[in-house]
């Protein structure tokens, strides 16, 4: 792993936005793929409570939209998200932050049933790393940087860092990063299992969209069932996971896409899945 001295410095924050009405999170739909972009460049996409509320609102809407089959989440070409909004949290006492429960809504990322791909340019630190890990796949730029530096602020991750990171890279490696605040370069993150693919910075969004479009061509209900089965299996025994897998497998035989997929195979043609 590279030393921290070799990792790039964070990009300079931009001047405050001139249009105060600009959305904190923007969304668009390209065919069957929705693209969500964090839009706080002036603070390196710091994840405030309002950002998370707006982001989850978009994701919930797309999760209900049958026309959307996969989602790509990006912070833009310069930075994914450099962390939580420390300015928002710094003045709070333990009682106040517990009462506000700023992190409670983060649990809803696990409820998104459709494939979710993070396109990470630049820094994904603290809450930014936790947000990327809440996605199903991470496509990272060669100069992307990951880490959970909360201990350097006298705290610890609170939005999944101590739970998802060990599941992805193993307990010992996770503890080292969590205890030291050390940053991880993209290549090492891929070698350790945190990142799915590393590409040049200019190709990150294109590669994430390529993956998303490929997934969107498949049977949507099968894709959702696969994600649900994999996630459930990580939290239960092998026997229970196998039982849940079988039930989801059986249920898909009541879909039109199962009939279409198997008919297309027998007829030696490409299937046309409708999500029904």
Q: Is 186 a known active-site residue?
A: no
Tell me which long-range contacts 160-164 makes (C-beta under 8 A, separation of at least 24). 160/106, 160/130, 160/133, 160/134, 161/126, 161/129, 161/130, 161/133, 164/130, 164/133, 164/134
Residues paired with residue 43 on neighbouring β-strands, in sequence order: none
Neighbours of 89 (CB within 10 A): 18
Q: Is 223 a known active-site residue?
A: no
Q: Is 127 a known active-site residue?
A: yes
Catalytic residue (one of 27, 83, 122, 127): 127
Q: Is 240 a known active-site residue?
A: no
Catalytic residue (one of 82, 118, 124, 130): 130
Asked whether 5 and 41 are in contact (CB, 8 A), the reply is: no
Catalytic residue (one of 75, 124, 140, 150): 150
DSSP 174-221: HHHHHHH---EEHHHHHHHTS-SEEE-GGGHHHHHHHHHHHHHTS-HH
Catalytic residue (one of 84, 140, 159, 208): 84
- Contacts (Cβ under 8 Å, ≥6 apart) of 229: 241, 244, 245, 248
Distance (Å, rounded) from C-alpha 199 to C-alpha 205? 10
DSSP 2-57: --GGGSPPPPPPPPPPS-TTS-SEEEEEETTEEEEEE--GGGTT-B-HHHHHHHHH
The stretches of 38-160 forming alpha helices (DSSP H) are 49-64, 86-89, 94-100, 127-133
Q: Which residues are catalytic?
A: 84, 127, 130, 150
């Amino acid at each position: 792993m590279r030393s921290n001295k070799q990792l790039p410095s964070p990009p300079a924050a931009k001047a405050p936005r001139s249009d105060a009405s600009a959305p904190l999170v923007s969304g668009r739909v390209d065919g069957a793929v929705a693209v969500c972009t964090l839009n706080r460049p002036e603070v390196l996409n710091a994840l405030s409570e309002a950002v998370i509320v707006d982001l989850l609102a978009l994701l919930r809407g797309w999760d209900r939209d049958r026309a959307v089959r996969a989602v790509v989440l990006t912070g833009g070409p310069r930075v994914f998200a450099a962390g939580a909004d420390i300015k928002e949290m710094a003045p709070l006492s333990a009682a106040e932050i517990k009462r506000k429960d700023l992190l409670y809504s983060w649990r809803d990322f696990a409820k998104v049933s459709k494939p979710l791909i993070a396109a990470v340019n630049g820094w994904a630190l603290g809450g930014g790393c936790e947000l990327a890990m809440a996605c199903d796949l991470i496509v990272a730029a060669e100069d992307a940087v990951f880490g959970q530096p909360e201990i350097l602020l006298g705290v610890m991750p609170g939005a999944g860092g101590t739970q998802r990171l060990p599941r992805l890279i193993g307990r010992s490696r996770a503890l080292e990063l969590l205890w030291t605040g050390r940053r991880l370069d993209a290549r090492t993150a891929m070698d350790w299992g945190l990142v799915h693919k590393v590409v040049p910075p200019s190709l990150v969004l294109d590669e994430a969209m390529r993956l998303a479009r490929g997934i969107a061509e498949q049977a949507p209900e099968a894709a959702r069932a696969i994600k649900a089965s994999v996630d459930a299996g990580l939290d239960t025994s092998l026997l229970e996971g196998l039982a849940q897998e079988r039930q989801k497998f059986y249920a898909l035989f009541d879909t039109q896409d199962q009939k279409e997929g198997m008919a297309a195979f027998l007829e030696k043609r490409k299937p046309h899945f409708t999500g029904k």
